[in-house]
């Protein structure tokens, strides 16, 4: 299997792992470190914001990962130097993944207990930060989860949403080597989806993978069928991403139930394409899928495992009977947050040195991060080893 199609092999066999850095997460050091750690741990896809600087940071990490192949293998990680797909996200309308929290810190009473600062999973809300005298939302760190809004006792936090600009994204895809695009949509936005699709379809055929992400809603399966009719025929591989409970995986184990339930609903619709969970996924997800028999059996077992040859150019199975993969966002990021925080603190303390704060420069932190990432990646990857 070539480096190019290794991620598709994972998708075909039912052990696809995607890291979601966040459609609006633009903290370049964190994106770089997350990409490096999860790549070395065996991720099949890295989903980043459609921002040139973010894309460049992820690509730099992928290059570093290839230089560490032997080190990873010596430490027992099954990384073969294969590059995961690099994915960017677009939206056809307002979406919580494409927003930032904002507030005016001068409006905060001095005696406020600042619950917003404590509840923020991205540590994006600061007051008199160490690096500067800044107070407020660090925009590059905020990924739009919205947890700070109801937590504010003075109701002064709000969000600003933004729309994708396909005309600006197309050159990125053509010039930077992005492999995949994910379109975030909602039931009832077929006209908006069609407008977006018309804008990107001239260059869509060069993609290796297209993902459609949609939360649940009345008439959802009919809506997805209408989308398929609109984009077919499709040369690239197609994934239906079930956005169960967006950006909530780090809250608790129970959040994964919405993702699994929605995955079952899409599987039952028998749409052409692969089905991948997201939205509330965490360390409980794979165990739940296994218990419910929703993961594909290992090669050689089950109807689809008998004598079926893998074709890397095959766009999708006709009617998937099992979940083909899982995408992890907030849980995957928070899992590595202790390492990222240590790295950021070192960068602050080394401002007068030549140290850049890159994860690979600290051998101890690097392999601690990979070990943590591998503890999550290996849950679904173990499906191929049974």
Per the model's pLDDT, the better-predicted residue between 350 and 68 turns out to be 68
The two structure tokens encoding residue 346: 């070192």
The two structure tokens encoding residue 210: 């297209």
Q: What DSSP assignment string belongs to 51-120?
A: -HHHHHHHHHHHHHHHHTHHHHHHTT----SPPPEEEEEEESS--TTSEEEE--GGGS-TT---HHHHH-
pLDDT tens-place string over residues 90-106: 999 987 888 889 999 99
| 43 three-state secondary structure | coil
pLDDT tens-place string over residues 144-154: 898 999 999 99
State the burial class of residue 352 (Cβ atoms within 10 Å of its Cβ: 0-12, 13-18, 19+): exposed
Percent of the chain with pLDDT over 90: 66
In the structure, what pLDDT confidence band is assigned to residue 213 with cuts at 50, 70 and 90? very high
Helices (H), the chain: 6-13, 28-40, 52-67, 69-74, 115-119, 148-151, 166-176, 190-204, 220-231, 256-269, 285-291, 330-335, 337-349, 363-381
pLDDT tens-place string over residues 373-383: 999 999 999 86
User: Of the ranges 44-53, 59-68, 179-188, 350-359, which one carries the lowest mean pLDDT score?
Assistant: 350-359
Q: How many CA atoms lie within 13 A of 50 on its CB side?
A: 25
pLDDT tens-place string over residues 275-316: 999 999 999 999 999 999 999 875 433 333 333 344 444 555
Q: What DSSP assignment string belongs to 21-37?
A: --TT---HHHHHHHHHH
- Alpha carbons 298 and 382: distance in angstroms, whole number: 9
């Amino acid at each position: 299997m070539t480096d190019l199609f290794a991620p598709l092999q994972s998708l075909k066999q039912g052990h696809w792992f995607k890291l979601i850095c966040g459609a609006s997460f633009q903290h370049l050091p964190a994106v770089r470190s997350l990409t490096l750690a999860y790549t070395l741990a065996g991720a099949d896809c890295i989903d980043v914001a459609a921002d040139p600087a973010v894309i460049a940071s992820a690509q730099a990490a992928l290059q570093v990962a290839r230089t560490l192949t032997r080190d990873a293998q010596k430490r027992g990680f099954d990384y073969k130097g294969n590059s995961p797909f690099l994915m960017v996200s677009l939206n056809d309308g307002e979406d919580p993944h494409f927003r930032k929290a904002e507030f005016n810190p001068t409006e905060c009473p001095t005696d406020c207990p600042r619950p917003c600062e404590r509840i923020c999973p991205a540590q994006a809300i600061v007051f008199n930060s160490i690096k500067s005298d800044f107070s407020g939302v660090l925009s590059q760190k905020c990924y739009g989860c919205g947890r700070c809004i109801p937590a504010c006792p003075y109701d002064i936090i709000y969000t600003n949403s933004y729309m994708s600009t396909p005309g600006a994204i197309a050159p990125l895809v053509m010039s930077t080597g992005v492999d995949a695009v994910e379109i975030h949509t909602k039931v009832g936005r077929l006209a908006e989806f069609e407008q977006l699709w018309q804008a990107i379809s001239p260059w869509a055929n060069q993609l290796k993978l297209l993902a459609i992400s949609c939360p649940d809603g009345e008439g959802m399966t009919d809506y997805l069928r209408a989308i398929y009719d609109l984009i077919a025929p499709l040369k690239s591989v197609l994934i239906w991403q079930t956005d169960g409970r967006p950006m909530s995986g780090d809250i608790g184990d129970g959040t994964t139930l919405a993702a699994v339930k929605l995955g079952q609903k899409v599987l039952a619709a028998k749409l052409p394409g692969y089905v991948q969970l997201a939205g509330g996924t965490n360390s409980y997800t794979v165990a739940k899928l296994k218990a419910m028999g929703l993961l594909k059996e290992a090669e050689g077992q089950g109807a689809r495992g008998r004598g079926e040859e893998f074709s890397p150019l095959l766009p999708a199975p006709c009617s998937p009977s099992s979940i083909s993969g899982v995408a992890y966002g907030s849980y995957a990021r928070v899992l590595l947050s202790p390492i990222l925080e240590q790295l950021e603190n070192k960068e602050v303390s080394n401002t007068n040195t030549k140290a850049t704060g890159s994860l690979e420069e600290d051998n101890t932190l690097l392999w601690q991060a990979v070990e943590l990432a591998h503890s999550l990646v290996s849950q679904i990857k173990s499906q191929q080893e049974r």
